[in-house]
């Protein structure tokens, strides 16, 4: 039984034979190992091309920005899983990553699609950017109250990671249509939702990365990659100084039965 498209049986990522391993057209042993850093390799794997100076700079910056933010739900899930199954590090990492959805970690992808759609509207309509921003927020609000990339439960006065990333983009001259659209959308919030909200990191990351040429379809992978590093750090600490069952007990004590 045929399911889905089955007319393109090709891959351009990796092949190997008895003597060599070729990744994206490069000899893994001779051209990549010891020659490039892992962030460049990540970019190469995703795009098929080595990053330029700005692309590498911002890929590194966003991976550092998003890798760690304390005992967030993905970390709690991972540490509690590891406490219950210390023989399965991979299961604990997977438990943390499985919760990366529209509220936690996956919101950068949703925001990026919204900004890309808004930029396409700007280019196609010929309207000024404020008009386009207002229109797109209003359209978004017909199916979702929260405008992606704005507001933060802790950093109510402004997400320091977002502020720094946008400043870095301005300093290096890479701020383009997507960063401009994020700022226009923020300016449109008082008019469209009745209040101002700060730009958060899940707005800064996709807007900057799209402006330097990272693929829209791979945006969620940034959060998955860097948060994996954070999870491994937490699980190493969990093995040495366990708190998984402490968190489990605190959860049980905090919830009333009705």
What pLDDT score was predicted for residue 171? 98
Q: 36-74 in b/e burial notation, b at 16+ Cβ within 10 A?
A: beebbbbbbebeeeebeebbbbbbbbbbebbbebeebeb
Looking at 5-100, which runs of residues are DSSP E strands? Answer: 14-16, 21-23, 26-27
Question: Does position 8 have pLDDT exceeding 80, yes or no?
Answer: no
What pLDDT score was predicted for residue 18? 96
Comparing 22-31, 118-127, 131-140, 150-159, the range with the smallest average pLDDT is: 150-159
Angstrom distance (rounded) from CA 150 to CA 196: 9
Question: 193 with 31: CB under 8 angstroms?
Answer: no
Q: In sequence order, what are the beta bridge partners of 14?
A: 23
Closest CA to 181 of 150, 159, 220, 154: 150
Q: Please classify residue 232 by burial: count the beta carbons closer than 10 Å to its beta carbon, then call 0-12 exposed, 13-18 middle and 19+ buried.
A: middle
Query: Of all residues in the chain, what percent are helix, strand and coil, respectively (each to 5)?
Result: 60, 5, 35
And the tokens for 116?
A: 């890309």
**Domains along the chain with CATH numbers:** 1-51 (no CATH), 107-212 (1.10.230.10)
What pLDDT score was predicted for residue 153? 67
Question: Does position 105 have pLDDT exceeding 80, yes or no?
Answer: no
For the chain, give the mean pLDDT.
Answer: 93
| Cα torsion angle, 64, 69, 72, 78, sign | positive
Predicted confidence (pLDDT) per residue in 153-198, tens digit: 677 777 899 999 999 999 999 999 999 999 999 999 999 999 999 9
Predicted confidence (pLDDT) per residue in 191-213, tens digit: 999 999 999 999 999 999 999 99
Predicted confidence (pLDDT) per residue in 59-90, tens digit: 999 999 999 989 989 999 999 999 999 999 99
As a whole number, mean pLDDT of residues 105-117 equals: 89
What pLDDT score was predicted for residue 106? 67
What pLDDT score was predicted for residue 108? 85
Q: How confident is the model at residue 3 (pLDDT cuts 50, 70, 90)?
A: confident
Angstrom distance (rounded) from CA 73 to CA 70: 9
End-to-end CA separation in angstroms for the chain: 50
């Amino acid at each position: 039984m045929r399911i889905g498209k089955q007319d393109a049986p090709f891959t351009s990522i990796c092949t190997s034979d008895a003597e060599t391993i070729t990744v994206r057209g490069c000899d893994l042993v001779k051209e990549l190992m010891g020659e490039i850093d892992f962030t460049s390799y990540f970019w190469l794997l995703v795009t098929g091309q080595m990053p330029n100076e700005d692309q590498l700079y911002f890929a590194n910056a966003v991976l550092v920005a998003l890798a760690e933010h304390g005992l967030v739900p993905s970390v709690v899930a991972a540490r509690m899983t590891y406490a219950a199954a210390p023989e399965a590090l991979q299961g604990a990492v997977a438990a943390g990553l499985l919760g990366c959805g529209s509220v936690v970690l996956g919101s950068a992808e949703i925001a990026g699609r919204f900004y890309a759609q808004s930029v396409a509207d700007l280019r196609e309509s010929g309207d000024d950017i404020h008009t386009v921003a207002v229109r797109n927020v209003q359209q978004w609000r017909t199916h979702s109250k929260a405008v992606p990339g704005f507001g933060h439960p802790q950093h109510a006065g402004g997400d320091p990671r977002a502020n720094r990333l946008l400043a870095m983009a301005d300093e290096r001259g890479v701020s383009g249509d997507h960063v401009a659209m994020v700022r226009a959308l923020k300016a449109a919030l008082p008019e469209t939702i009745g209040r101002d909200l700060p730009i958060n990191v899940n707005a800064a990351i996709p807007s900057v990365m799209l402006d330097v040429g990272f693929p829209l379809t791979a945006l969620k992978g940034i959060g998955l990659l860097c948060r994996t590093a954070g999870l491994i750090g937490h699980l190493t600490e969990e093995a040495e100084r366990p708190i998984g069952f402490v968190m489990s007990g605190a959860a049980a004590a905090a919830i009333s039965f009705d």
